[in-house]
């Protein structure tokens, strides 16, 4: 069998074209595999980060205490430390486990309790803003400590929350009236179909309600507060 030069050239050209096509396909497949691998790694990192810490924003209802009001006008100042308060719980290996935000719930608590304690309550943006408002005193609460106990660590069948507060009372001019510490405690039992986040929230709400009760009932029993009230 004989081939003319034109046929042979066309045959070689076709083989080269096919070879180029396969080569390009292999390159494209390699690029796609690399992109998929990188995308998989990126998604894995995002998944690990999202699973690293659980955010818990404390939410609940706070009843108004049934007590006699004092005939006073009190300003209340919530500083940024209280408004943005968050507690970070770490696992036994040192990894971030739960980020518990309770600043807003504390504001809601005091906004429910204070109007039941005093004739008039005004919220101010700064301590200085209370001057010229005709208030008898300025109340500024501060969270000093927050503790969380999880069943997995304590081996008990309850979730527990402790909170320590520094309650500060000053005149409209900023002069000292009283400064005292209050603690609150809340717990909730393990329940089969309740998440850890929900249990932490419930225990914290119980602690906040405990604060509402102890603060409203013990306010006039604080020695410095009692002396100040007697001087009015």
pLDDT of the chain, 232 residues: tens digit per residue? 444 555 545 545 555 554 554 455 565 655 645 554 454 444 443 443 445 799 999 999 998 999 999 999 999 999 999 999 999 999 888 888 999 999 999 999 999 999 999 999 999 999 999 988 899 999 999 999 999 999 999 999 999 999 999 999 999 999 999 999 999 999 999 998 899 999 999 999 999 999 999 999 999 999 999 999 999 9
Tell me: do 175 and 219 sit in the same domain.
Answer: yes
Residues 144-200 have pLDDT tens digits of 999 999 999 999 999 999 999 999 999 999 999 999 999 999 999 999 889 999 999
For 26-66, strand residue ranges (E) read 54-57
Tell me: do 66 and 176 sit in the same domain.
Answer: yes
Tell me: do 43 and 76 sit in the same domain.
Answer: no
Q: Among 31, 51, 71, which residue terminates a domain?
A: 51
Tell me: do 36 and 85 sit in the same domain.
Answer: no
Tell me: do 1 and 79 sit in the same domain.
Answer: no
Q: Number of folded domains in the chain?
A: 2
Tell me: do 127 and 199 sit in the same domain.
Answer: yes
Domain with 29, as residue range(s), is 1-51
Tell me: do 226 and 184 sit in the same domain.
Answer: yes
Tell me: do 103 and 204 sit in the same domain.
Answer: yes
Q: Which residues of 150-183 are buried (b: 16+ CB within 10 A; e: fewer)?
A: beeeeeeeebbbbbebebbbbebeeeebbeeebe
The reported pTM is: 0.77
218 CA to centre of own chain: 28
Tell me: do 91 and 133 sit in the same domain.
Answer: yes
Q: Among 35, 51, 67, which residue terminates a domain?
A: 51
Check which CATH number belongs to the domain holding 66 and give it.
3.30.160.150
Tell me: do 36 and 99 sit in the same domain.
Answer: no
Tell me: do 117 and 96 sit in the same domain.
Answer: yes
- CA distances 8 to 1, 13, 18, 21, 232, Å, are 13, 9, 16, 20, 116
Tell me: do 86 and 153 sit in the same domain.
Answer: yes
Q: Among 10, 25, 51, which residue terminates a domain?
A: 51
């Amino acid at each position: 069998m004989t081939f003319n030069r034109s046929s042979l050239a066309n045959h070689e050209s076709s083989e080269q074209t096919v070879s180029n096509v396969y080569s390009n396909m292999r390159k494209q497949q390699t690029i796609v595999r690399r992109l998929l691998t990188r995308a998989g790694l990126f998604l894995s990192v995002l998944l690990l980060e999202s699973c690293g810490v659980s955010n818990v924003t404390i939410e609940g209802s706070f009843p108004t205490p049934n007590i006699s009001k004092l005939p006073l006008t009190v300003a209340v100042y919530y500083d940024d430390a209280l408004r943005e308060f968050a507690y970070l719980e770490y696992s036994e290996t040192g990894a971030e486990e739960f980020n518990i935000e309770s600043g807003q719930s504390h504001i809601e608590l005091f906004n429910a309790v204070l109007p039941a304690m005093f004739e008039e309550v005004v919220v101010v943006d700064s301590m200085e803003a209370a001057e010229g408002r005709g208030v008898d005193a300025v109340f500024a609460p501060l969270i000093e400590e927050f503790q969380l106990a999880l069943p997995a660590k304590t081996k008990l069948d309850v979730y527990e929350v402790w909170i320590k507060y520094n309650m500060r009372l000053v005149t409209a001019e900023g002069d000292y009236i009283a400064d005292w510490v209050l603690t609150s405690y809340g717990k909730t039992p393990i329940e089969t179909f309740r998440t850890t986040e929900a249990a932490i929230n419930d225990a914290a709400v119980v602690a906040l309600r405990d604060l509402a009760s102890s603060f409203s009932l013990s306010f006039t029993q604080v020695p410095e507060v009692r002396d100040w009230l007697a001087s009015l």
